[in-house]
Structure 1
Amino acid sequence: MIYIYNCYGGTHSSILAIAYHLKILDEKQEPTKDEILKLPNFNKLVYGNRGELFYYGSDEDGNKVYAIGRGRSKVLIPGLYNLASMLHKQSLLSEKIVFSNTSPTVPLLMTFGGLFSRWLKIDFIGVPLLVKGAKQSYKNIIKLVNHTKKTSKEGQSGVIILDNKEFKKK
């Protein structure tokens, strides 16, 4: 199976989801600032990385885990879905692929943190906001990851898209 977590930039909420999926971060406690900032590609990707698939490792079941930033594109994930579905139909791909949107877990602090840090290049404002946002959203991200894993095992389709709107902070 292949998991592809996706969000706007591919550098914040999707990285946190990958860290919980791959057990880099402990689900039982709030992550520390250092743990968050040491995650691979956390707050490091730039505009030019959008649409690029990044591999982060395999989980305990041998499933490959990736992230992609989609920017404002409404067609990237559906396009990848269509490509993967076509490859399945032609028996060129047999692994199940799960696209899981992590954007609904992003709190306002993380949105502003990303804006200040990635767009305006003002890290001394953006990074603390990102860390606070990551700490604020960690339980919700863990729920999303667990939902993604559970749904992937239950689903019969070879390619699944999870919009995860039920994880939107209210």
Structure 2
Amino acid sequence: MVYIYNCYGGTHSSILAIAYHLEMLDKNREPTKDEILNLPNFNKLVYGNRGELFYYGRDKEGNDVYSIGRGRSKVLIPGLYNLASMLHKQKLLNEKIIFSNTSPTVSLSMTFGGLFSRWLKLDFIGVPLLVKGAKKSYKDIIKLVDNTKKEAKKDKSKIIILDNKEFKKK
């Protein structure tokens, strides 16, 4: 199986989801500032990385885990779905693929943190907001990851897109 976590920039909520999926972060407690900031690619990707798949490793069940930033695109994930579907039909691909949208877990402080840090290059404002948001959202991200794994095992489709709207912040 292949898991592809996706969000707007591919550098905040999707990285946190990957960290919980790959057990880089402890699910039993709130992550520390240093743990968050030391995650691979957390708050490091730029506009030019949108649409690029980043590989982070294999989970303990042998599944590959990736992230991708979508930006504002409404067609990137459906396009990747169609590509994977075509490759399945031509028997060039036989891996099950799960696209899981992590954007619904993003808190307001993460949104503003990303804006200040990635767009305005004001890390002294953005990074503390990102850390606050990551700490605030960690339980929702864990639930999203657990749900993603559960749906991947339950759904018999070769390709799954999870929008995860049930995790939307209120």
Match of 1:67 in 2: 67
After TM superposition, the score normalised by the length of structure 1 is 1.00
Unaligned runs of 5+ in 2: none
Equivalents in 1 of 2:167, 2:90: separation in Å? 34
Any idea what the Cα deviations from partners look like across 1:95-119, whole Å, max 9, x if unmatched? 0000000000000000000000000
Q: Kindly provide the amino acid, as one letter, of the partner of residue 94 in structure 1.
A: N
Tell me the TM-score normalized by structure 2. Answer: 1.00
> Partner of 1:12 in structure 2?
12
* Pairwise CA distance, 1:89: 1.2
Q: Report the equivalent of 1:45.
A: 45
CA drift at 1:91: 1.0
Aligned to 1:153: 153
Aligned residues: 170
Unaligned stretches of 5+ in structure 1?
A: none
What per-residue deviation string (whole Å, max 9, x for no partner) do you get for residues 32-56 of structure 1? 0000000000000000000000000
Amino acid at match of 1:110: M
Shift of 1:67: 0.2
Distance 2:99 2:59 in 1: 16
> CA separation in 2, counterparts of 1:65 and 1:110?
23
Supply the distance in 2 between the matched residues of 1:70 and 1:166 (Cα, whole angstroms).
20
Give the Cα separation in 1 of the matches to 2:117 and 2:13. 15
Match of 2:97 in 1: 97
1:128 paired residue number: 128
Structure 1 runs (4+) deviating above 3 angstroms are none
Q: Offset at 1:90?
A: 1.2
Q: Percent identity?
A: 83
> 1:140 aligned to 2:140?
yes
Counterpart of 1:7 in structure 2: which amino acid? C
Secondary structure of 2:79 counterpart: helix
